[in-house]
Amino acid sequence: MRAAFIDAFDAVLSDLDGVVYAGPHAIPGAPEALRGLASRGVRLGYVTNNASRSPAEVAAHLRELGAPAEENDVVSSAQAGAELLARKVAAGSRVLVTGSAALAHEVEIRGLVPVRSAQDGPVAVIQGFSPDLGWRDLAEASYAVAAGAVWVATNTDWSIPQARGMAPGNGTLVHAVRAATGKEPLVAGKPEAPLFLAAAERLGAKRPVVVGDRLDTDILGGNRAGFATAAVLTGVDTPETILAARTAERPGYILATLSDLYAPYPDVEAVDGGWRAGGSTARVDGRVLRVSGARGDLDAWRAACAAWWDARPHADEAAAPELVWED
């Protein structure tokens, strides 16, 4: 019997939104899949761009959903952002916090002074997601950034999965300040590598796999860190967007759900001028990608990705082929 996919790794670095939960609810089967890792000797860490809650709050929420989690298992962009800021400004500096109380706490424990108005004389601005942010908060950040304050964004996710669908993420709020000031922030969280490297170091992992639902944050960041990456199809990205991905955002593996961690992963191999995964094959003819397999079969998409990416190994922009299904 072939080994399970997860047996090749010593740790999972998991995203949260779109992988473990959507809004307040667990994604079906996700908590159970995560609980099974310990019995196989696989460590688990959560790497999240959500800066609106503290690691302790995130861990408590995960436990409520049935997933194993302690505070130290959570590595957040709020922590990374506050750490980056502490290296850029002197201890005791005033920092305008455009975000949650949890983000303000991360700033405070690093010896900086959180403030809420540009009139308080901040030397820096740190911006992270909070559902309570409004126009006045963004205006205060804009005033301070335009006046020359150091500007750190915890992350630039354009959207965030919620129970009712996709909602604007921190990236949309960061873009509002960018549009108002013409300035660019320093970005601390995904898709930058340090967040993933810090999580792996905390776990003592040598062979981690990054599991996420977003190519532009989870997969790009994991690739930049030099780790194996697996896109899971329970959140933002789809087989179609994965197929079209630019080189830097292509995952090493594609999983339907976290339950696939325990299934054997098919060999994806070159055969007869094309590529095969499981019982499906794919071949490229110019801009046409011919796939022999069912559209609903994930192996068909795995073969399709291998064939299309082999034909376009250095893609700086996302581009989709013309798909022809030959069931």
Q: Which residue has 């305008």 as its token pair?
A: 96
What is the rounded distance in angstroms from the CA atom of residue 143 to the CA atom of residue 177? 9
Q: How many whole angstroms from its chain centre is CA 55? A: 16
**Can you give the three-state secondary structure of 97-152, one letter per residue?**
EECCHHHHHHHHCCCCEEECCHHHCCCEEEECCCCCCCHHHHHHHHHHHHCCCEEE
What is the rounded distance in angstroms from the CA atom of residue 196 to the CA atom of residue 218? 9
Nearest by Cα to 103 from 168, 175, 55: 55
Choice among 10, 15, 73, 218 that is catalytic: 15
Percent of the chain that is helix, strand, coil (3-state, to 5):
35, 25, 40
What is the rounded distance in angstroms from the CA atom of residue 233 to the CA atom of residue 294? 17
CA atoms within 13 A on the CB side of 165: 2
Choice among 7, 10, 17, 132 that is catalytic: 17
> Could you confirm whether 310 is annotated as catalytic?
no
> Could you confirm whether 299 is annotated as catalytic?
no
What is the rounded distance in angstroms from the CA atom of residue 159 to the CA atom of residue 172? 8
What residues act catalytically? 15, 17
